[in-house]
């Protein structure tokens, strides 16, 4: 055998060995690497739009009192005249409310009012506990542990953060019938100076002073260290002394017919979603209203034509009853996958982790 032939044989053997080594490396990579495309399939938010439908099924709530799926709302918490059994609705439709830069997505339910489930609140007790009640019902009846999804009630902040500069300007320019502008104060004295106890904890309140609180709780916060909720204290209200009660006007009303221009083009789908309802639904947000000669304290609501509020307690120590439905909001983490479906009502997206 010639030297040339020996060299050829060695080259071919080396080439075969190299190819075998390359095959082994390829197989190792295939068996030990992560297919990012497969793992990340469904976590992309590309193509999702506000208003699209999602197939979301909450966990079944089990009432510790009777093992039903109803939420028991007692009179000492709601202020209403009788105990309420709030049904958990499993056939609610859910739609995308917001798509966030961090990959989280918020979905919102139908209004439970449309399905016959309404929540009654009354008086200072209803005002004190209202935000807690709405969030607690939402959390217990509409969360999903497998998706790490915790539900809450919709709030006024959900709406205001979508408004454009014109919308916020209109809010800030709103005045009560007696001329008190949003963010400004009116003082009430003597028989017109009663207030729900939680109001003393709120920003903008002035109890026995014209100086208003600036380090208190916001309108959508449930309670405080000084006033934990739910509260069953009776009476649920107090009266200011001769120095009076100072109340900040933070109530305002807006009508659907005028509100379209308060949302930029990219938020028009949210605007439509907000008013896409037959009946009223609560917002888990308190308000104070300053007409003359009384102040009114209540919770915000939305219906098919208006963003407004229902008063529950008046500063001359009178109570009123209001009822609305609930719209639950669920935040889905960036790890939740939107798979199958096209977001239509007939073919909603399906969720998984």
pLDDT of residue 43: 73
d(CA 226, CA 27): 65
Q: Are 253 and 170 in contact (CB under 8 A)?
A: no
Share of the chain above pLDDT 90, in %: 82
Q: C-alpha angle 46/58/343, rounded to 5°? A: 30
Rounded Cα distance between 312 and 126, Å, is: 7
Mean pLDDT of the chain: 90
Q: What is the pLDDT of residues 260-287, one digit of tens each?
A: 999 999 999 999 999 988 889 999 999 9
Q: What is the per-residue pLDDT across 193-212, written as a single tens digit (0 to 9) for each? A: 999 999 999 999 999 999 99
Percent of the chain with pLDDT over 70: 88
Q: How far is CA 147 from CA 151, 246, 329, 332, 348, in A?
A: 11, 45, 14, 7, 17
The confidence band for 84, taking pLDDT boundaries of 50, 70 and 90, is: very high
At 217-227, the pLDDT tens digits run: 999 999 999 99
Which pTM value belongs to this model? 0.88
* Phi, psi values for residue 102, rounded to 5°: -85, 5
Tell me how far apart the alpha carbons of residues 153 and 97 are, in angstroms, rounded to a whole number: 13
Domain ranges in the chain are: 53-352
Rg of the Cα atoms in the chain: 29
For 166, 257, 279, 309, the CA distances from 260, given in Å and listed in that order, are 11, 7, 20, 19
CA angle in degrees (0–180, nearest 5) for 309-310-314: 115
Whether residue 33 has pLDDT greater than 70:
no
Count CB-CB contacts under 10 A for residue 61. Answer: 18
Beta strand pairing call for 84-86 and 296-302: unpaired
pLDDT digits (tens, 9 = 90+) for 34-63: 444 444 556 789 999 999 999 999 999 999
pLDDT at 41: 58
* Token pair for 266: 């990219």
Rounded average pLDDT over 112-118: 86
Rounded CA-CA distance 199/4 in Å is 99
pLDDT of 279: 84
pLDDT at residue 248 tops 70: yes
CB 143 within 8 A of CB 59: yes
Query: Residue 116: what pLDDT?
Result: 81
Q: Is the pLDDT of residue 10 over 90?
A: no
Give the pLDDT confidence of 147-162 residue by residue, as tens digits: 999 999 999 999 999 9
Choice between 19 and 84, residue whose per-residue pLDDT is larger = 84
Classified as helix, coil or strand, 318 is strand
Buried b (16+ CB within 10 A) or exposed e, 107-119: bbbbbbbebebbb
Cα 215 to chain centroid distance, Å, stands at: 23
The predicted structure's pLDDT at residue 42: 60
Banded pLDDT at 32 (limits 50, 70, 90): very low
Tokens encoding 56: 């979301």
290-299 pLDDT tens trace:
998 999 999 9
Average pLDDT estimate for 9-15: 48
For residue 30, the model assigns a pLDDT of 42
Helix (H) or strand (E) holding 331: strand 328-332
Whole-number pLDDT of residue 3: 46
Strand partners, 108: 95, 329
The answer to whether residues 207 and 240 touch, using CB atoms and an 8 Å cutoff, is yes
* Strand duo 119-122 + 321-324: pairing: antiparallel
Tell me which DSSP letter residue 258 carries. H
């Amino acid at each position: 055998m010639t030297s040339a032939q020996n060299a050829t044989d060695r080259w071919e053997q080396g080439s075969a060995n190299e190819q075998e080594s390359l095959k082994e490396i390829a197989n190792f990579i295939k068996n030990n690497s992560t297919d990012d495309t497969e793992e990340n399939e469904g976590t992309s938010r590309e193509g999702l739009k506000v208003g699209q439908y999602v197939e979301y099924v909450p966990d079944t709530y089990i009432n510790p009192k009777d093992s039903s799926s109803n939420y028991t709302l007692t009179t000492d918490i709601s202020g209403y005249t009788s105990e309420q059994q709030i049904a958990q609705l499993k056939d609610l439709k859910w739609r995308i409310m917001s798509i966030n830069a961090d990959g989280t997505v918020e979905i919102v339910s139908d209004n439970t009012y449309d399905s016959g489930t309404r929540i009654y609140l009354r008086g200072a007790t209803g005002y004190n506990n209202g935000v807690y009640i709405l969030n607690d019902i939402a959390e217990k009846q509409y969360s999903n542990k497998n998706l790490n999804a915790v539900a809450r009630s919709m709030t006024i902040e959900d709406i205001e953060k979508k408004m454009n500069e014109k919308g916020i300007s209109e809010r800030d320019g709103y005045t009560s019938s007696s001329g008190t502008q949003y963010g400004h104060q009116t003082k009430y004295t003597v028989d017109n100076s009663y207030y729900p106890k939680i109001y003393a904890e709120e920003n903008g309140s002035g109890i026995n002073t014209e100086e208003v609180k600036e380090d208190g709780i916001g309108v959508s916060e449930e309670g405080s260290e000084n006033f934990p909720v739910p509260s069953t204290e009776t009476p649920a209200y107090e009266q200011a002394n001769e120095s009076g009660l100072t109340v900040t006007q933070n109530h305002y009303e807006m009508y659907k017919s005028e509100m379209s221009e308060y949302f930029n083009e990219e938020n028009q789908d949210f605007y439509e979603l907000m008013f896409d309802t037959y009946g009223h639904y609560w917002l888990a947000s308190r308000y104070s209203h300053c007409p003359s000669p009384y102040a009114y304290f209540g919770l915000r609501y939305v219906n098919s034509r208006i963003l407004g509020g229902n008063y529950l307690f008046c500063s001359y120590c009178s109570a009123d009853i209001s009822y609305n439905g609930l719209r639950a909001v669920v935040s889905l983490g960036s790890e939740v996958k939107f798979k199958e479906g096209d977001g239509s009502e007939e073919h909603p997206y399906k969720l998984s982790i």
